[in-house]
Structure 1
Amino acid sequence: MKIAIDDGHGMETAGKRTPAFSDGSVMRENEFNRAVVSYLHDELIRNGFSVMLTAPEDTDISLATRVQRANDAHADYFISVHANAFGSGWNDASGVESWIYSKKDKDTLDAAQKIQSEVIKETGLKDRGIKESGNSLGILRDTKMSAVLVECGFMTNPQEAALLKSDAYRKKVAKAICRGVCLHFGVKYQEEGNQMEKIKVILLGKEVEMMGVKVIDENGNVTNCVTIRDFAEQTGYKVSFKGATPILERA
């Protein structure tokens, strides 16, 4: 499956930051979003997913461009990472919530529920549930694939803002989102250590490289496993999915 991941907003997006901390500093929302997306990228790759970034640049990228990039890449799923806010000053609004276009879309709802549940389990923050955006959020309305937007804590809550600044918390959120994605697709989550790497394969007498993992069983036997998408592309097939089941068709 190809997952598009989006670090919501940009570094210079107006108003998307914490109130000033006691030392006068602020955290821009995209500092958190971008860090989580970076860790999430590695988590998803390690677990066998194909990943594309909607906004890898340092400059602000419009919502329309982010959506178009995901659509053009024919991504199977879209995940946008955010930090929440209530007003512009410090307050006690708290918790994690996830947004989808419509709860009538049961596949997207299932993904959102699994991601939300794993983030709550990993962070221990208040569960604010799954929200329905309708047409109010273009990033969910205009993507052609299922899309989930995750609000991972409040920048305007001093305790949660401190977490959002923490590298340890950012890694927790990325790991939790990946676990939710794995649960949705029926993929066994791989802890760090089973790293994706280039594996040499002899294909029709020719040596090629594909992304995969080396799996070691209890007897120490090593099996090289390659991704279905790489195999399909090397052999002239196109790949789609029904749930977690790959469907190969001649391109």
Structure 2
Amino acid sequence: MLILLDAGHGGVIDGVYQTSGKRSPRWEDGSQLFEGEFNRWIVNGLSERLGQRRIPYVLIAPEQRDVTLGTRVTRANRFRDKPSLYVSVHANAGGGSGFEVYSSMGTTKSDAAAHCFAEEFVREFPDKPLRADLRDGDFDKDRNFFVLKHTAMPAVLTENFFMDNEEECRQLLMTPEGRRRIVDFHERAIVRWVAGQA
């Protein structure tokens, strides 16, 4: 079993954020979240946890530069012959609150993984909204996002709270404790999914 961890967007090189947009507003205290930095923090935390559990993983985009979606998918599909799960980590924006998990269109093998992420989010954050689409009987939202549509293995994309929601951004996305809790439920979801494949 192999977990493919993808931190969405670019990081920070020599103090310069590598992805235009994809950042929070600048808050009154001068602080600001860069989504790619947050995504990498979560993925790096997950890689440490999976290593401790001896669950094999690959970092799909370890660079700080913004790796193209095509390159991310090409790297992932090198592992098409191994049982694997692709996990793309993001922070949301656009007005709202809570957590969303996406999988590819229709009923696919990705749905079981998305279900694990949704349930573990609710377990970790019972007072925060799970933004689910229950019309097809499961929690995930189906989208044709490039990395979901073109990867050759089950794949999910998590949107972890809203960086343009000041409370969520400053209390969860920008604090070590909030980030640790996000790593916690991602870890539990992956462990559940792996156990279900045995």
- Find 1:127's aligned residue among 117, 127, 130: 130
2:99 corresponds to 1:99: no
Higher-Rg member (1/2): 1
Q: Is 1:180 matched up with 2:183?
A: no
User: Does the 8 Å contact 2:161/2:169 carry over to 1?
Assistant: yes
TM-score of the superposed pair, with normalisation by structure 1: 0.69
Q: Which has the higher strand share?
A: 1
2: CA distance, partners of 1:123 / 1:31: 22
1:26, distance to aligned residue in structure 2 (A): 1.5
Tell whether the 8 Å contact from 1:9 to 1:61 is kept in structure 2 after alignment.
yes
RMSD: 1.4
Report 1 or 2 for greater relative contact order, CA contacts < 8 Å, sequence distance ≥ 6. Answer: 2
1:35 is the counterpart of 2:44: no
Is the partner of 2:22 in helix, strand or coil?
coil
CA distance in 2, matches of 1:40, 1:123: 18
Shift of 1:23: 2.3
Aligned to 1:215: none
Name whichever structure is richer in helix by fraction: 2
SS at match of 1:145: coil
Give 1:49 shift.
1.3
Q: Secondary structure at the match of 2:5?
A: strand
Return the alpha-carbon distance in structure 1 between the equivalents of residues 71 and 2 of structure 2: 18
Structure 1, unpaired ranges of 5+: 188-242, 245-251
Deviation at 1:174, TM superposition (A): 1.3
How far is 1:36 from its partner? Answer: 0.4
Shift of 1:120: 2.4
Whether 1:147 and 2:147 are equivalent positions in the alignment is: no
- What whole-Å deviation, never above 9, does each CA across 1:138-194 have from its counterpart, x for those lacking one? 01011001000000100011111011001111111112111112112327xxxxxxx
1:154-233 maps to which residues of 2 (within 5 A)?
Answer: 154-162=162-170, 163-186=172-195
1:4 maps to what in 2? 4
State the shift of 1:46 in Å. Answer: 2.1
Q: Is the 8 A contact 1:123 1:169 kept in 2?
A: no
C-alpha change, 1:103 and 1:184, in structure 2 (3 Å) is farther
C-alpha displacement at 1:71, in angstroms? 0.9
Deviations 1:3-38 (A, max 9, x none): 100001113211100011112331100111100001
Give deviations 1:52-87, integer Å, cap 9, x for gaps.
00111111111111111111134611000000000x
The 3-state SS of whatever aligns with 1:128 is coil
Match of 2:75 in 1: 69
Give percent identity, aligned residues only: 36
Aligned length: 181
Distance 1:18 1:52, change over 3 A: same
Kindly provide the amino acid, as one letter, of the partner of residue 98 in structure 1.
V
State the alpha-carbon separation in 2 of the partners of residues 115 and 31 from structure 1.
Answer: 21
Q: Provide the residue aligned with 1:227 in structure 2.
A: none
Distance 2:5 2:121 in 1: 16
